[in-house]
Amino acid sequence: MSYLMILLIALLFIIVSFGCAEAGFNVQSSNSHNDQYNGKFGYIDRTGKLLIQFQFDDADDFSEGMAKIKIAEKYGYVDKTGQIIVYPQFDECESFNDGYAPVMIGGKYGYINNLGLMVIPPQFDVAKKFSDGLAAVSIGGRWGFIDKSGMFAINPQFDDAGKFNEGLAKVKIGAYFGFIDKSANVIIKQQYDKVWHFSEGIAAVCIDKKWGYINTSGAVIVNFKLDWAWPMSSGLAAVLSDEKWGYINASGQMVIRPQFDNAVSFSEDLAHVYVGKWQVGRCGYIDKTGRFKINPQYILAGEFKEGLAVVRTDHRWLFIDNKGDIVIKPEYDMVWNFSEGLARVNII
């Protein structure tokens, strides 16, 4: 199997299978709805009640008490009662993190706080969320990091940059990635073709289409022999070897042998895996021993969040608990996982 094919299949599984939580998946419902709600988004609570009515042209998960929404081509934010807190006025925006959210007006990005005040004026070509007190921003094709005053803590000098996680951020110079600390010291030199952020003390990195893992000092924990690798989560990381997925621990030991046709990270001590050929097989959930806790039976499945996961049977969406019991039977065309007690739903 080619490297490109591995990448495409892995990403499809994330977007679709894990993606009924992240990107949604369009499976037409047999239920009839009022045409005025077609294409609109709303939110349900954990009982399945429609708590925020269908009214938004686009919507995102709740984060720090607010959710990004779109009305008439402009973005703003609502609270968990559905009240508009920040009036739709932005050309683009992202969810809140560390108390700030990046927003775009007139082709430039700035930042608002959770009161909706523009605390860092629009001036950046691209802006990412704050993390560990810093945010990666781009001006004139160069990336640096600003603090919450809007001042550059690390001057623009990189070809790409990611968020700080566990004290380190990935940066790219030329064709290669490495890692810096918050003082701009190069901790791990630029030498990798691709990298994920650090998680639980290690990061997945790629050289010549083979993946391995390094620790925060740059020492190799897992040799470059894997066909694909995801970040560590709950003490385990999903890895692809010889066209099958298994899981390694933080020491690099293969604790769940490669046997699945696709797999993602653990969340709330369960991971959903795919068994069978693409579009023919089924998703189920395994525990950290690799045993199925919920047998493969779903066309699509999302990660567990707040005790529930979205799954798709042949006929409908469901929310299940970690025993596989049905908790909610939503009657909508698209659904997402819960975030801060509410879940997005959409009628097409």
| Distance of alpha carbon 90 from alpha carbon 112, whole angstroms | 11
Q: What's the pLDDT at 16?
A: 43
| Distance of alpha carbon 196 from alpha carbon 305, whole angstroms | 22
- What phi and psi values does residue 120 have, to the nearest 5 degrees? -130, 110
Q: Is the pLDDT of residue 14 over 60?
A: no
Q: Is the pLDDT of residue 175 over 70?
A: yes
- What phi and psi values does residue 46 have, to the nearest 5 degrees? -75, -5
Exposed/middle/buried for residue 244 (C-beta within 10 Å: 0-12, 13-18, 19+): middle
Nearest residue to 235 (alpha-carbon basis) of 225, 247, 246: 247
Q: Is the pLDDT of residue 160 over 60?
A: yes
Q: What's the pLDDT at 22?
A: 40
Q: What's the pLDDT at 2?
A: 52
In one-letter notation, the amino acid at residue 18 is F
- Whether this prediction's pTM lies above 0.85 is answered by yes
Q: What's the pLDDT at 272?
A: 97
Bridge partners (DSSP) of residue 220 are: 214
Q: Residues 183-191: what's their mean pLDDT?
A: 97
Q: Is the pLDDT of residue 182 over 60?
A: yes
Q: What's the pLDDT at 37?
A: 73
Q: What's the pLDDT at 123?
A: 98
In one-letter notation, the amino acid at residue 130 is F
Decide if 248 contacts 258 (C-beta within 8 A). Answer: no
Bigger pLDDT: 115 or 28? 115
Q: What's the pLDDT at 12?
A: 43
User: pLDDT for 68-113, tens place per residue?
Assistant: 999 999 999 999 999 999 999 999 999 999 999 999 999 999 999 9
Copy the structure tokens of residue 6: 């591995």
DSSP state of 306: T
User: pLDDT for 34-61, tens place per residue?
Assistant: 566 789 999 999 999 999 999 999 999 9
Average pLDDT of the chain? 91
Q: What's the pLDDT at 35?
A: 64
pLDDT band at 279 (very low <50, low <70, confident <90, very high): confident
pLDDT band at 26 (very low <50, low <70, confident <90, very high): very low
Decide if 40 contacts 346 (C-beta within 8 A). Answer: yes
20 φψ region: left (φ > 0), alpha (ψ -120 to 50), beta (else): alpha
Q: Is the pLDDT of residue 207 over 60?
A: yes
Q: Is the pLDDT of residue 66 over 80?
A: yes
Q: What's the pLDDT at 33?
A: 54
